Amino acid sequence: MSGIKTLGQFIIEKQADFSYAKGELSRLLRDIGIASKIVNREVNKAGLVDILGDAGTTNIQGEGQKKLDVYANEQFISALTSGGECCIVATEEEDDFVRIDSPVSQNAKYIVCIDPLDGSSNIDVNVAVGTIFSIYRRKSIEGKATLADVLQKGTEQVAAGYVIYGSSTMLVYTTGKGVNGFTLDPSIGEFCLSHPDMKVPEDGTIYSINEGNYVHFPEGVKKYLKYAQVEDLATKRPYTSRYIGSMVADIHRNLIKGGIYMYPTTSASPNGKLRLLYECNPMAFIIEQAGGTASDGLNRILDIVPTELHQRTSIFIGSPKMVKMAEILMEEYSPVKPLGDIDTVQVV
């Protein structure tokens, strides 16, 4: 018996972890895996076909869409539609959520929030990009699912994952019982278990942030950068700066080596740049499941109650000791508003 365990075999094996599971979540994860292999094929040959460059359109964020952004979005929506397990897709590339009304999906109970191709500005220069997804169970019992089914706290996620299209293609996901990584073996077209039970190092020496925004950072972030850059051999400082400009790639590296990724508020992004539902929540769920932490500088990312589809937040995520130090300096120099009672009331 070969030592290979495919994603499909692993999902089925772990299905036993969920007594209520009747296979729907397993099939949903399978659908996402299939779409990511199709996207991977296009990402890998992007330079050879007319799929690079701008699509000539902009998304609701006002960001120029790359042809691969649009292609990836279409592939994931198509796979989720034909898979029949998802009733709503909330995607970075669509202004509103996409309701899946196909006959096969009318009783579907899962919601998928997705950034189909994160870091797309890197596509044209052959740098790693990624897909980020988050899966919720719909809250409403009957009728058509609504926005209230989408606007759920990160703690309500039943699964989350990302695909990194890099030197190799990996799918990393959690269902709340640890984090496992699968590397795509092109020779058999299967994601194979390569990184079982992933754990983020408690401490690290890598920090990831766009220092070009320095003048616009909160004082607490400026203090953290100075802390990271001062020499102190006992704490292995100065740290190393690594910033790819692709959240999936930066966080994946930090998950394996240890580190902190920060996207604080800036003048251009007074609420932070990254989106809560399909970037920060899934990455926070994964990192917490791997033993790390994720906050907005004070509040746990997963506790933030979304009030709108493309809501943004600042994020400090990674090795718990590094995130804690950043939070200490943020509390002292740039205190973040705590989530009040009203903030924790679910949108129903």
- 2 belongs to an annotated ligand binding site: no
- 117 belongs to an annotated ligand binding site: yes
Are 116 and 131 spatial neighbours (Cβ–Cβ below 8 Å)? Answer: yes
Which stretch in 98-106, 239-247, 320-328, 334-342 sits in contact with ligand P6P by CB under 6 A? 239-247
Tokens of 99: 């309701």
Which CB sits closer to ligand P6P, 87 or 294?
294
Q: Of 245, 257, 299, 300, which one interacts with ligand P6P (CB under 6 A)?
A: 245
Q: Of 33, 83, 116, 119, which one interacts with ligand P6P (CB under 6 A)?
A: 119
Which stretch in 44-52, 115-123, 179-187, 334-342 sits in contact with ligand P6P by CB under 6 A? 115-123
Binding mask 270-309 for ligand P6P (x = CB under 6 A): ---xx-----------------------------------
Which CB sits closer to ligand P6P, 7 or 123?
123
Which CB sits closer to ligand P6P, 109 or 253?
253
CB 135, min distance to ligand P6P, A = 20
d(CA 69, CA 7): 25
- 341 belongs to an annotated ligand binding site: no
Closest CA to 31 of 86, 104, 97: 86
CA 278 vs CA 79, 152, 228, 245, 308: distances in Å: 18, 12, 29, 17, 12
According to DSSP, the residues that pair with 48 across neighbouring strands are none
| All residues at 6 or more sequence positions from 281 whose CB lies less than 8 Å from its CB, including other chains | 113, 134, 154, 157, 160, 301, 302
Binding mask 207-226 for ligand P6P (x = CB under 6 A): ---x----------------
CA 71 vs CA 38, 161, 168: distances in Å: 10, 20, 20
Q: Is 247 among the residues that bind ligand P6P (CB under 6 A)? A: yes
CB 118, min distance to ligand P6P, A = 5
Angle 167-191-24 (CA atoms, 0-180°, nearest 5)?
135
**N-terminal to C-terminal alpha carbon distance within the chain:** 50
Residue 166 phi, psi dihedral angles, 5° rounding: -125, -140
- 54 belongs to an annotated ligand binding site: no
Which CB sits closer to ligand P6P, 198 or 248?
248
Residue 52 phi, psi dihedral angles, 5° rounding: -90, 175
Q: Of 118, 149, 190, 288, which one interacts with ligand P6P (CB under 6 A)?
A: 118
Are 169 and 40 spatial neighbours (Cβ–Cβ below 8 Å)? Answer: yes
CB 310, min distance to ligand P6P, A = 12
Q: Of 65, 246, 254, 319, which one interacts with ligand P6P (CB under 6 A)?
A: 246
CA torsion sign for 286, 289, 292, 297 is positive
Residues that bind ligand P6P (CB under 6 A): 118-119, 121, 210, 245-247, 250, 273-274
Binding-site residue numbers for substrate are 118-121, 210, 243, 273
Binding-site residue numbers for Mg(2+) are 92, 115, 117-118, 279
